[in-house]
Chains A and B, each alone.
Chain A
Amino acid sequence: MLLALERIATDPLVLAEFPFEWNYVRSIVRVSLYVSLAAVTLSTLFSLPVALVVGFKEFPGKGLLTSIINTGMGFPSVVVGLVVLFTVSNQGPLGSLELIFTPEAMIMSQFVLAAPVITGVSLAAVSSVEQNVRDAAYAMGGTRLDVALVTIKEARYGIATAVLAGFGRAISEVGSVLIVGGNIAGPNGTSKTRTLTTAIQLEARQGRYETAMVLGVILVVLVLVVNAIVVRLGSDEGGRY
């Protein structure tokens, strides 16, 4: 992914007015990807089982839970940032872990943002898998896990969409990562908690719009590349795309 990005970014057209040190940009991209991919991976591991359970089980409060998930999909990110800030601040319940102004705190807030999106979208995908597919899996003597795997396989395009939507929400997020991460540049001009979005915000604040624009292009390209990879993975298995 980084290689593809670098190839695009080393295009002379893009480079012409590029005032940045390359390892600065690279480290920003690395932090952005690390935080967002970690958050999305964790959210997916959390969200898929939830989506399967909510999708297939009938239980009291299911409607309420579904609407909580749907609300969470649109939850304002700065509020999430504030809540995570209170949690990881020295005065907060997780204060002793000293997570504030670290990538881990940013992963936490992006997890909170991405998890409802991934849960909500994959819930829709899982629910649309026809009952008889699951019945067939049961009939073949499948265990619960087998049935779940069959369902996931059937719903893989919807789940891929869910993961991509979660990734989009995570990597394009500014407000909460700025609050809990602090947009810190580390020593030697590298990024510690600076992501593409917070770097763009910083550049715009200083009136350096060209640099902000270039970083914006990198961000968009990055999202495109990740999308392409996920779609490609899907097509190798099923050939639907």
Chain B
Amino acid sequence: MPIQRRKFIAAVGSAAAAGLAGCSAQDGGNGNGNGNQSGNESDGGSGGSQPEISGETLTLTTTTSTYDTGLLDELNAPFQERYGVEVDAVAQGTGAALETARNGDSDVVMVHARSLEDEFMQEGYGVNRRDIMFNDFVVVGGADDPAGIEGNEEVTSAFQAIADAEAQFVSRGDNSGTHTKELAIWEEAGLDPDDFGEWYMAAGQGMGEVLTQASQQGAYTLADRGTYLSMQSDINLEILVEGPIEGGPELLSNPYGIIAVNPAVHDNANYDLAMAYIGYITSPEAQDIIENYTVEDEQLFFPQALSEEPNFQQYVPEGWSASDGDDS
């Protein structure tokens, strides 16, 4: 742990210093921009610009899953208290969250669709992407399991079986991270939802509504484990195909990332505060909160920022470099 922390401080410290340097270059008068490397013994790079950011408001657009599971409240409370700032969390789907950031209406985004995040980075809207945590997706359905997918090792063959049986399937259909993953799985299975019949229903709603709808219709759906667990007691759905947390296929992994809005594109973006927040979220303190957050005794998210072997690919969109580092 101590070694891990020191590595982490070094990594985040330099990232935050670079960020702050970029910032003070931009708005001139930030004299004490890099006091953070010495000041934070215990919680790594949670930003050193405390006197400057106090009283300000950070607008965070995020996915419904971090919000609806209750994790975000746990994470934000200590940050708001310590820095005397306000975090305005707007829960949208991943697609909408990134679009809001594209318009310059938020300062930082926390989302879970690497392909969409990469696009956002490549277009120059985002800077300093960091991995935060991961959980996984699961395929859930009614206990009667009409397509017989239970215990299937491969999610693609489970999807194939659902399509063959034309069993009811509720899709998020809202350009969210989960929807993006679902489409990727259909593609992997060699199927195109555009060709599907009435059994395939695009709800165009959040995870909670879709789980409720699937529960009421006895339909299958793809859900993130966190939202599923947090709603488990209210719905009649069971996990039929496990994700990687329980030994399922890697295709169902669900990594979350955080990206600051590029202040060079939107000069009203609160970049100082965004970087302080990113520093905090990836700090040992916040990562501990993520690790220890449970709903009905089940851990929902697995921290990923404090890696012994940092994945440097997290800072650059996938495909920009053909080197290794393509893990998750």
Contacts and interface: CB of A to CB of B under 8 A. Distances in A.
Asked if A and B are interacting partners, one says: yes
A192 B268 CA distance: 21
Contact of B235 (A89, A192, A193, A207): A207
Contacts of B234: 207-209
A202 B105 CA distance: 21
Contact of B206 (A101, A186, A205, A208): A205
A193 B88 CA distance: 9
B64 A91 contact: no
Interface string B250-266: 00000000000000001
Interface residues of B, number: 28
Contact of B80 (A91, A187, A202): A187
A98 B266 CA distance: 12
B317 interface: no
Nearest to B90: A182
Given A90-B266, A207-B234, A183 B91 contact: yes
A225 to B, nearest CB: 30
Contacts of B4: none
A89 B90 contact: no
Interface string B79-107: 01000001111110000000000011100
Contacts of A100: 105
B211 interface: yes
Contact of A89 (B103, B206, B230): B103
B108 to A, nearest CB: 14
Contacts of B103: 89-91
B247 to A, nearest CB: 28
B74 interface: no
A157 B89 CA distance: 43
A77 to B, nearest CB: 17
Contacts of B206: 205
Contact of A205 (B88, B104, B209): B209
Contacts, number: 57
Interface in B103-142: 103-105
A137 interface: no
Interface string B206-217: 111101100000
A204 interface: yes
Given A89-B103, A91-B103, A98-B268, A207 B88 contact: no
Nearest to A102: B88
B46 interface: no
A152 B77 CA distance: 51
Contacts of A91: 103-104
Contacts of B209: 204-205
A170 B261 CA distance: 33
B238 interface: no
A132 interface: no
A206 B230 contact: yes
Interface string B180-212: 000000000000000000000000011111011
Contact of B268 (A90, A187, A206, A207): A90
B167 interface: no
B231 interface: yes
B142 to A, nearest CB: 16
Nearest to A186: B86
Interface in B232-281: 234-235, 266, 268
Contacts of B235: 207
Contacts of A89: 103-105
Contacts of B80: 187
B304 interface: no
Interface string A183-195: 1111100001100
Contacts of A193: 88
A184 B68 contact: no
B89 A185 contact: yes
A202 B205 CA distance: 12
Interface in A151-171: none
Interface in B266-323: 266, 268
A101 B58 CA distance: 11
Contacts of A182: 88, 90
A126 B18 CA distance: 66
A74 B80 CA distance: 42
A101 B105 contact: yes
Nearest to B261: A90
16 contacts: A90-B103, A100-B105, A101-B59, A182-B90, A184-B88, A187-B77, A187-B80, A187-B86, A193-B88, A204-B209, A205-B64, A205-B205, A205-B207, A205-B208, A207-B212, A207-B234
Given A90-B105, A100-B105, 15 more contacts: A89-B103, A89-B104, A90-B104, A98-B268, A101-B105, A187-B77, A187-B86, A192-B86, A193-B88, A205-B68, A205-B206, A205-B209, A206-B208, A206-B231, A207-B211
Interface of A: 89-91, 95, 98, 100-101, 182-187, 192-193, 202, 204-209
Interface of B: 59, 64, 68, 73, 77, 80, 86-91, 103-105, 205-209, 211-212, 230-231, 234-235, 266, 268
A-B interface, 6 closest residue pairs, ranked by CB to CB distance from nearest: A90-B104, A182-B90, A205-B208, A207-B234, A184-B88, A207-B231
